[in-house]
Structure 1
Amino acid sequence: MSLPADELWRPVGGTIPRRQWMKITDPDALPAEVPGDTEFRVLLPADDRFTVLREKLAASSVPVRQMPYLLEQETIAEYQDARGRDRLTVISAECDLGRVGPARLVRTDGRSAEAAREAFDLLWHAHADTGPAAGATVPVAELTPPEWARFLPFPTFNPAQAEAVPHVVDHDGHLMVVAPTGSGKTVIGMAAALRAILGQGRKAAWLVPQRSLTDELDQELQGWRGHGLRVERLSGEYSVDVSRVRDADLWVATTEKFEAICRTSSLREALDEVGCVIVDEIHLLGDQTRGPVLEALLARMRGDATALRLVGLSATVSNADQVATWLGARL
């Protein structure tokens, strides 16, 4: 038999996995409700028979990529067992398409499961632009509340933005976005800040690694001031007006400056109002100079009791999965 929908989506090991990657070769598979704290990825065959399934997955904000051929159906799950140990389990079977006779389910773990996970990751990245939506733009109004449109620089989202923004808008957990330079990560950061400011009535902070970048970002956000939002730039080159900082909706700051502000008693109440921190160039966690300050700052904030959300942006992270796991973030 094929892997039925309830078997595909059933939590492996009796618990909700923190990561579940799937190859689905049954066009009639019906996804169950996707847990918001699980990082899902789904590979589908590039076949018209999977159009309905692809649309259902997209409606559940599940990232989907398609490829010409899949030799097997597969579920890769990372979870904690009853003893709190990290486990990796893979359940696989022959592809449904064109198979004659019943399929045999195979369950693996250990090094074989790690190899399956690495193979899936390679396929995922190799087919980043082959889906039917590649190259398509999506109107801003389809993915965000109407009042956000005047704060965003363009009337449409590009494909990378359209993939990430639903996770920004519809979920509260930490998020990490890895996309090439020029793919529009700044707009994704804008959406995260707007969700905190307009959607939750809280403040947002946007951290960049260099003073010059605070100038660039401040210029890009100039239009926000014209629409009534208070944006304050914080770096070592500018003196801090405590009252203006306290009243601001969005802080644009270097990591070092924000870390110093976090130790300023006069701004303690204002810090408690921050609902989202966007971290540009989060891969600098590995930098010998800037990394320790950023790591210490994020380590304090990732478990903050005030439901502070972290959104990391990066053009290149060689160990994105590890960073996202450490941050407790959806990748």
Structure 2
Amino acid sequence: MQAETTALLFFLYLSQLFMHVQDVGIDFGLLDGICGEILPVTWNVFKEAFRTAHISEDIMEIKRKEVRNLQQNNMSFMDFLNKFNYLSRYVPEEMTSEARKVNLCQERLNPDIKHQHSAHDIPNMNSLADKALHIEESAKEMIADHKRKWVAQKYASSGLDIILGMDWLSKHRGNIDCANRAISLVNTDGKVVNSTSDRASTSQQPSLHSLFVSELNLVPVVCEYPDVFPNELPSMPPNCDIEFVINLVPGTALIAKRPYRMTSENLVDLKKQIDEQLEKGFIRSSSSPWGCPVLFALKRDGTMRMCVDYRPLNEATIKNKYPLPRIDDLFDHLTSARIFF
């Protein structure tokens, strides 16, 4: 690759030299007596033979891609112009005229420079450089004029800890009205959803405002992997390689509690739920002396949920060295927050 690049540079140098010799009109007949008889090899014949022998088509295509992908971006105009002139030597077939070169160079400039003038107003590269440098210097002066000294101030947070990302706001076409503390979003059905709230209160009372909730069957990931997100779990997950152990306080006696007394209705419901759990393989018969009694908790829909009372076992468990977050502590972090996603 390095040898081919060197050969390509040498070839470009010879091309420029040949064009210069043609321009000054050197009489090759004068060289006949110095160098002997000159073989009848034209420049086009030599050019094709040299490129075929030393320069592959792959290296030429790499250089063409560099020219096509060239953009000013963060470069200054002079740095960009130097790089453009350097790479333009590799694509002489593109630089057929001065106007063509000006057009190609202007297309790769940043919009703030490119849109300031038309290509018809620029006869050559020198004019393009003068105008681009003038625009660049004017922009620097404008930025310098608008610089102000900013004194940083620290304000007490009132609990607004949720930060919305620009990607999420752009996706839902979010429009935030800070003065009226309002926000409008576009849901998946294309409808505009508006939400307003009062001034943030300094009280540390948890509050939650929801705009809309997407159904589970509308989530693309859930639809793509239905076996991972079934409506009901078919069986227990596979066994893990790591064995789970509960560390108890040394000297803890066996915990054996009498079953709680239940009504006949609760006993029927208990038997029904136990049979369902046994059928799915979620539970199995056990006579462990560490077993804990079962009780029922009333759900919001009026049905009963079977729970295992592990409170005696939790009291004998060695506590973690770090505190586990409580649900009320988590709500404290979300106090006065208005948007959740």
Q: What TM-score range do you get, normalising by the shorter chain?
A: under 0.3
- What TM-score, normalized by structure 1, do the two folds share? 0.24
Greater fraction strand = 1
